[in-house]
Structure 1
Amino acid sequence: MGPIQNPFALQKPLKLTICYTETCNLSCQHCYADCSSEKASAELSSAEWNRFLDEIAELGVVYLYIEGGEPFHRPDFLPFLASASNRFFTEIRTNGTLITRDITARLKEIGVGIVLVDILSPHAKVHDYFTGMQGSHARACEAVTYLVEAGIETQLLTILNRKNVDDLQGYIDLAHRLGVKTAGVLRPYPLGRFKYRWNEFSLSLDEMHAALDSLRLPAGMKLMQSWHPNDGNSCWQMAAVNAFGDSIGCAYLREYVDYGNIKNVSFMETWDHPLYRELRSGRVKETCPSCSSSQGSHGGCRSTAYAFHGAWDAPDPFDRTLNHGVDLRVLPEWLLQPHPKPPGPPR
């Protein structure tokens, strides 16, 4: 295969996501990973994860984003995090329910960079409905309070959907009351359990943008949102490894790709997989004229492009200029299969 033509494509990743575990103490209806409380034997051990840290440190990776599952659900997580934070700028995505004052003090000592806490609604009843645990909203908010008081950079995340769209301003206001300076509003992805509840939770593109456009941000607060052009195609710079060691490029590609397993081959061998190289090339059928960045992000997210069109070079239907009449409330039938593959020849 020839050289990657995208001038912004990296020869080695600077940022890398790891899904440290697929275990979780919650049972969220919208879980992308379809997590359970029991650890699968095939998950990477802490020793295997630490060997991987050695490998990517030598490659020059700078940023390590850690998610799950729920990272704090694994007893060996804090020692692993301490090792990681000595070598990378670390970010953790968590449901917050397992973060105590003592754990917060340990995070401060370790020097974690950012902690992102998922809050699905400003209302406890709605949030707890999503997570399946009564009291999870209160515990998540308590964790945010601990983190902010400790001086750890803390951000909130929510996934926009039918059940919380009318309370989006309330979510922003809650973030402000908790002392958080950045609140994220993320697009939904048809993955894991979420895709089987898509008819219940999904919104039209117009409904999503109307909710975003109506937001009033308090002074000093930043909104992080994942609708193109504000969140473009970042495959040119992305790398991700799941809890079992599979190199998947991006956590949102988890059901669609497998570039090789780091138990068996080096990470850079997976980085050189033909499909991985193709996605980093930035070659798409149609580019977005209003893209907010020239840094290889034309065409939008490859995960949603593939999910709705079955082609890697298709346009992202979450982009208003590239949607072309796609109803985001209706999923293609092939996506609901156990091992989803689009109909027709490989594309």
Structure 2
Amino acid sequence: MNPLISTVDFNERPFIAIWEVTQACDLACVHCRASAQPDRHPMELSTEEGKDLIDQIAALKVPVFVLTGGDPIKRPDLFELIDYARSVEVRVSLTPSATPLLTREVVVRLKTAGLARLAVSMDGASAETHDAFRGMSGSFARTLDAVRWANEIGLPVQINTTFSRRNIAEIDDLVALMDSLKITLWSVFFLVPTGRGKLNDLLNAEEFEQVFATIYDLSKKANFDIKTTEAQHYRRFILQQGVAERKAGSAPKLHPDKAADAIGRAPRGLNDGKGFVFISHTGEVFPSGFLPLSGGNIRLQELAVIYRDSPLFQGLRDTSRLEGKCGACEFKEVCGGSRARAYSLTGNPNAEEPCCVYVPKGFVPPLQAARAATLHVLRRA
């Protein structure tokens, strides 16, 4: 376990930093927050600018650093950047796309360069569903190949799955598939309608709870860890389940062979801009890849200055600014709701989480017509 986990002050430094090294990608995923396209942007951060960013990550002692895209493999200096990160003791995870560019040779080179974890996406339990999600035939098979190749060389593997209306019917089959693979972590994403992500694909609040229940049950018996992204209220769900189980005298026992997560897990309370920072391919600094509000650009300011002093980031870390149910919720310090989803549906990053069924004790919902913008998510069958 990473010893830095318990020492992270979210006001001082992020727990997770993600650098979108490029938006270039040969896939056309239906939920892509970046609306990626095949060609690299001429204003991408250069190799030297990338190394300077890595130096800043090292100075901040950020426990989790992820290179994402687009498809990071589209950058010819990718291996150089990973090797440089290793030289300054920054542990790197990578989220490549499952295209013909992702070969066994590339996976081996990634590990040789110093990659700490390979994260690949699996958005369906079948090739038909996954490939439709990704917009490329053969992506499902390539993902399984990548997992196998990483297993063969001892490179830890993470699977990312985004749940939406397009694949929710396959959740049980996806759980079975995860259980059959040798992975360290299953990272369960919940759709934020931004980029190519469509509002009609968003699960409603009751369906969120159903997914929570499924992955919580799996977490008690799986030999890998499970985390959620843009479902901060899963923490509330876990706390509620723990209370119920203790009252019933049936506290769960973890799987005795659960894989150790060497990268580390965030303490409770992490949220968009609160322990989390996203650096775009052109250096813009966002609270999340799903929350398109910039706090500054690393070409003009140090990352630490933007993260600590930007009014945007400071405001997102201030839970007294939360509105609606989130503002009144007794779980707001450990949850806080998805600020990205709130912004996507209302234009207000401090609005209440639109996909949460929980009503705080004593909370009386406002009657303003403005809340109608999110009611379809709460009530849709």
TM-score (norm: length of structure 2): 0.75
Quick one: structure 1 residues 214 and 265, their matched pair in 2 at CA, closer, same or farther if it must change by over 3 Å?
closer
- Report the counterpart of residue 96 of structure 1 in structure 2: 98
What's the CA shift for 1:300?
1.6
Deviation at 1:111, TM superposition (A): 2.9
Structure-2 separation of matches of 1:299 and 1:250: 14
Unaligned segments of structure 2, at least 5 residues: 1-7, 236-268, 366-370
Q: Which amino acid aligns with 1:310?
A: G
Q: Conserved in 1, the CA contact under 8 Å of 2:25 and 2:97?
A: no
Is the Cα–Cα contact under 8 Å of residues 80 and 113 in structure 2 kept in the other structure? Answer: no
Residue 214 of structure 1 deviates from its aligned partner by 4.1
Alpha-carbon separation, structure 2, partners of 1:40 and 1:137 = 27
Name the CA distance, whole Å, in 2 between partners of 1:298 and 1:112: 31
The match for 1:317 among 342, 351, 354 is 354
Q: Which amino acid aligns with 1:124?
A: A
| C-alpha deviation, 1:269, in angstroms | 3.4
- Name 1:269's counterpart in structure 2: 305
| Counterparts in 2 of 1:328 and 1:47: CA distance versus 1, 3 Å | farther
Letter in 1 for 2:301: V
Q: Which structure's residues are more often helix, by fraction?
A: 2
Distance 1:76 1:177, change over 3 A: same
Q: Tell me, what secondary structure is at the counterpart of 2:285?
A: coil
Q: Which of the numbers 174, 178, 184 marks the counterpart of 2:177? A: 174
Cα contact 1:27–1:35 (8 A) shared by 2: yes
Tell me, yes or no, if the aligned pair for 1:202 and 1:328 is still in contact at 8 Å: no
Alpha-carbon distance in structure 2 between the residues aligned to 1:89 and 1:206: 37
* 3-state secondary structure, aligned to 1:155: strand
Instruction: Determine helix, strand or coil for the equivalent of 1:238.
Output: strand
Amino acid at match of 2:274: W
Shift of 1:49: 0.9
Q: Which residue does 2:206 correspond to in 1? A: 206
Matched, 1:154 2:157: yes
Inter-partner Cα distance in structure 2 for 1:237 and 1:281: 12
Which of 330, 339, 347 aligns to 1:289? It is 330
* Contact 1:236 1:282 survives alignment (8 Å): no
Q: Give the aligned partner of residue 62 of structure 2.
A: 61
3-state secondary structure, aligned to 1:297: coil
CA contact (8 A) 1:228 1:318 kept: no
Instruction: Return the offset for 1:287.
Output: 4.5
Instruction: Flag the 1:207–1:62 CA change in 2: closer, same or farther, 3 A.
Output: closer
Q: Give deviations 1:138-189, integer Å, cap 9, x for gaps.
A: 1111001111222211111111111211111211222222222432221100
- Worse overlay, 83-92 or 230-239: 230-239
Distance 2:158 2:81 in 1: 22
Cα distance change, pair 240–179 in 1 and its aligned pair in 2 (3 A): same
* Alignment match, 2:145: 142
More displaced, 133-142 or 9-18? 9-18
Residue 119 of structure 1 pairs with residue 160 of structure 2: no
- Matched-pair contact (CA < 8 Å) for 2:86–2:114: yes
Match of 1:319, SS state, is coil
- The equivalent of 1:339 in structure 2 is none
Aligned-partner Cα distance in 2 for 1:63–1:228: 18
SS where residue 251 of structure 1 aligns? coil
Task: Report the alpha carbon displacement of residue 78 of structure 1 after superposing the two structures with TM.
Answer: 1.4
- Measured against aligned partners, the alpha-carbon deviations of 1:253-282 in whole angstroms (never above 9, x if no partner) come to 1x2x11221112222332212122111233
Deviations 1:89-116 (A, max 9, x none): 2111223333322222222223322221
In the other structure, the counterpart of 1:84 is 85
AA aligned to 2:31 is H
**Structure 2 residue 250 is the aligned partner of structure 1 residue 249:** no
**Displacement, 1:298?**
4.1
Query: Normalising by the residue count of structure 1, what TM-score does the alignment of the two structures yield?
Result: 0.82
Counterpart of 2:168 in structure 1 is 165
Cα 1:157–1:248, aligned 2, differ >3 Å: closer, same or farther? same
- Cα 1:11–1:168 change in 2 (3 A) is same
Q: Aligned pair in 2 of structure 1 residues 67, 322: CA closer, same or farther (>3 Å)?
A: farther
Residue identity matched to 1:89: R
Distance 1:223 1:238 in 2: 18
Call closer, same or farther: CA 1:327–1:176 in 2, change over 3 Å: same
CA distance in 2, matches of 1:66, 1:110: 14
What residue number does 1:229 align with? 233
Partner of 2:5: none
Structure 1 residues 221 and 269: CA distance shift in structure 2, 3 A = closer
